[in-house]
Amino acid sequence: MKIKIINPNTTWSMTEKIGLCARRVAAAGTEIVAVSPGMGPASIESHYDEALSVPGILDEIRKGEADAVDAYVIACFGDPGLYAAREAARGPVIGIAEAAMHAASLIGNSFSVVTTLERTCGIAWHLAEMYGMQRFCRKVRACALNVLDLEHHGSDAYRIILAECRQAMQQDKVDSIVLGCAGMTDLCKKIESELGIAVIDGVTVAVKLAESLVQLGLKTGKRRDLAFPLPKPYTGLLENFSRS
């Protein structure tokens, strides 16, 4: 089985970290291919960044289809381009926010999201509503950290994130904490050990969910709104996305 993890930003150190954490939980015989697109933002911290990341994501889906990839994970907590990617792919495509929130709903009645910048909190709330998770989500908490702060060794990022997770546990009275950034994936078990509460990382959950769907022979439905895109030409910078 081959699972392709697409980190929609172009920061390779984060992609390597995501791939390493994914391989730790993948089953024997599962090949993890972690990639960053050849185009896109260095980090994703706004609707604007998300929109500009989508062509790179779809280009990696196109390459994955040619390379017989069985399933995909979009490793950004905004789940950018998720439905467009599902249209373009034969196998399952899992967003890490979707995976993490659903996992949290299966192990308790409440969770809080701990994310990076305050400006992204609205995106997480929108996803919770869209995925039917609003009744489980107590709060979305920001750490006032830029995404790339997570890549700077020696930064105060871990201490700040840990403190916010502790606040979520004590003040929000939740059963679990969802980490709201793929760049936090390597912090999950350490935070869980320190706080004694379930901490959920969407990258690793999405990998296990993708494996399960592939093993069950379940693929993206192609009969209606997730059917392959209609053939048509695209122009300008999008010329290579034309379908025939």
Write the DSSP assignment of 27-67 as a string of letters: PTTPEEEEE--SSS-SS--SHHHHHHHHHHHHHHHHHHHHT
Q: Single out the residue of 59, 39, 58 nearest to residue 49, CA to CA.
A: 39
- Return the pLDDT at 9: 97
Whole-angstrom Cα distance, residue 192 to residue 175? 12
Helix (H, G, I), strand (E, B) or coil at 113: strand
Is the Cα dihedral 96, 9, 242, 90 positive or negative?
negative
pLDDT tens for 167-178 read 999 999 999 999
Q: Divide the 244 residues of the chain into consecutive groups of 10 and give the mean pLDDT of each group.
A: 98 96 97 97 96 97 97 98 97 98 98 95 96 97 90 86 96 97 94 96 98 97 94 91 84
Give the tokens for residue 159: 């201490």
- Return the pLDDT at 233: 93
- Return the pLDDT at 242: 87
- Return the pLDDT at 240: 87
- Return the pLDDT at 18: 97
Task: Give me the torsion for CA of 13, 14, 19, 25, rounded to 10°.
Answer: 130
- Return the pLDDT at 189: 95
- Return the pLDDT at 44: 96
pTM, to two decimals: 0.95
- Please say whether the beta carbons of 101 and 112 come within 8 A: no
- Return the pLDDT at 154: 72
In angstroms, the Cα distances linking 68 to 33, 36, 38, 75, 118 are 12, 18, 20, 20, 39
- Return the pLDDT at 243: 82
